[in-house]
Structures are given as structure tokens and as C-alpha cells.
């Protein structure tokens, strides 16, 4: 905590306090950069949600964009307060979101349509209860990383079967933002003590950069998956750009759909 600044939320109770110095700018926000860096993810998810609803994509994509928004709001609450309850509101949706990605990636080839969503729902519910009781720390990070790794082979399969250059570019942006975000996350974790002791003169705000890049990463992942799903359904997808910056998928459904 910065000298001379009191905390509105009381002592830190979360299992981890990130490298950013607490309560520097306001007694109401513990980590200002880690908090505000979630805003781009909310805005990008809103763009994706509007596109999904306006073109009547399958509901799974609307839920996916909403889950990105919910996750970012949970992260805002966590980093603004550094309270254990808010930490649960951040970490549990992270796992739920990855389960949703697993469903979207693998369900097209799953022959028993009700089995996978039922299993993933029960898995997410059990995890939520267990995490609220035992407050996993390192185990949570390992578990989350494993869920992410489960998605990568399927994303690669979709990539190699995609011929459209603009769609492949989105997949490359997904990979680039994932690698860059992970690098900043590791820098924040590994160099935190050296930054706090003055050995390294500049705080790169690595965790805030992680939030910022992962917001774009989620948007690129969602857009690429929407393109691939539209191809599977025969909707003649095309990649367009909103404000000449943000890619989105334009589809043309057959009249009978």
C-alpha cells in the first residue's frame, strides 16, 4: 500500500497480491492499471456480441462473448479490491470460459450431443464449489493452463483446414497475442521482487498488459471460431472490418435457414 493512502476495502485477503503497488491513486481501487486494463476486453466482447446477435449466429457464440464480458467484470472487482471473494468471481469464470471454448471446439465432431454439455456443466459446477472451499492457488494456475492446452490442437486443426487468407490472419493474431500476453505475465511474476526493490527501475505493468492483450486474444479467437463454424454450416463467411481495425465475420445463410 502506498504511504499516506488508506484502503476502503480493508486488508488484502486474496491469495495473491500482484506486483502493481496498491492504492497509489485512490483508496477505492487497489490496482488501477490491473483494473482499467480489463475495459478493452469488455468493449471488444460487446462488438462480437452485437455481430453474433445481428447475424443470428448460434447462441453459443453470444454466450461466449457474454462470458468474456463477465470474466472482465470479475477481474475488475478482484483487482480493485484484492478481496478473496472477488478473487473467486475472477478465477471461477476463467475456468467456465475455457470449458465453453472446449465445447465449441470439440462439439461438432461429438456424436452424443447431450453428453458433452452435461459433463462440462457438472465439471464447472464441481470446480466452483471446490474452489470456493479450498481456494486453490498454484493448482488453479496449473488446471487453467491445462484447459488452455486442450484447446490449442483443435485451433491448429481448424487453422490448417482454413484456406481464406484473412481468416488465417486472424488465427495468427490469436497466437501472437497469446504468446505476447503470456510473456508479459511471466515478466510480472518473475521480476516482481526486483522491480519492488528498485533493481529494475521501471514497472512494466506486465499483468495489466496481459489483460489488455488477452482481451484482443479472446476477440480474435472468437472471430476465428465464428468463421470456422460458419464454414461448417455452409453460411459463406467473409471477413470484414469494423472501423477498418476490428475483424468480424459476415455470413450469408441459405434461405431455408
Residue set of the binding site for Ca(2+): 17-18, 20, 22, 31
Residue 197, C-beta contacts closer than 8 angstroms, at least 6 positions apart: none
Interatomic CA distance for residues 21 and 33, integer angstroms: 10
Q: What torsion, rounded to 10 degrees, do the Cα atoms 58, 59, 65, 67 define?
A: -140
Cα torsion 133, 19, 177, 25: sign = positive
Annotated binding residues, written as ranges, equal 17-18, 20, 22, 31, 79, 207, 211
Interatomic CA distance for residues 220 and 226, integer angstroms: 10
Cβ neighbours, 10 Å, residue 177: 20
Interatomic CA distance for residues 184 and 161, integer angstroms: 31
CB 116 within 8 A of CB 162: no
SS3 176: helix
Long-range contacts of 95-99 (CB under 8 A, 24+ apart): 95/124, 95/127, 95/128, 95/131, 95/143, 95/144, 95/147, 96/67, 96/124, 96/128, 97/64, 97/67, 97/68, 97/71, 98/144, 98/147, 98/148, 98/150, 98/151, 99/123, 99/124, 99/147
Annotated binding residues for Zn(2+), written as ranges, equal 79, 207, 211
Amino acid at each position: 500500500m502506498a504511504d499516506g493512502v488508506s484502503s476502503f476495502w480493508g486488508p488484502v485477503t486474496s491469495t495473491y497480491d500482484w506486483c502493481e503497488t496498491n492504492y497509489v491513486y485512490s483508496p477505492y481501487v487497489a490496482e488501477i492499471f490491473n483494473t482499467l486494463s480489463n475495459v478493452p476486453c469488455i468493449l471488444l466482447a460487446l462488438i462480437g456480441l452485437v455481430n453474433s446477435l445481428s447475424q443470428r449466429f448460434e447462441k453459443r457464440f453470444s454466450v461466449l462473448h457474454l462470458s468474456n464480458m463477465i470474466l472482465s467484470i470479475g477481474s475488475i472487482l478482484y483487482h480493485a479490491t484484492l478481496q478473496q471473494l472477488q478473487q473467486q468471481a475472477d478465477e471461477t469464470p476463467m475456468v467456465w470460459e475455457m470449458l465453453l471454448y472446449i465445447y465449441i471446439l470439440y462439439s461438432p465432431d461429438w456424436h452424443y450431443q447431450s453428453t458433452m454439455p452435461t459433463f462440462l456443466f457438472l465439471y464447472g459446477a464441481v470446480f466452483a464449489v471446490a474452489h470456493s472451499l479450498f481456494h486453490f492457488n498454484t493448482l488453479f494456475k496449473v488446471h487453467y493452463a491445462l484447459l488452455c492446452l486442450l484447446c490449442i490442437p483443435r485451433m491448429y486443426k481448424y487453422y490448417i483446414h482454413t484456406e481464406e487468407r484473412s481468416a488465417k490472419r486472424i488465427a495468427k493474431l490469436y497466437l501472437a497475442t497469446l504468446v505476447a500476453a503470456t510473456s508479459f505475465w511471466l515478466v510480472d511474476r518473475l521480476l516482481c521482487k526486483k522491480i519492488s526493490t528498485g533493481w529494475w527501475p521501471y514497472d512494466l505493468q506486465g499483468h495489466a498488459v496481459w489483460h489488455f492483450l488477452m482481451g484482443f486474444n479472446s476477440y480474435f479467437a472468437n472471430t476465428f471460431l465464428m468463421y470456422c463454424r460458419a464454414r461448417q454450416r455452409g453460411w459463406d463467411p467473409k471477413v470484414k472490418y469494423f472501423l477498418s481495425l476490428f475483424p468480424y465475420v459476415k455470413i450469408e445463410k441459405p434461405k431455408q435457414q
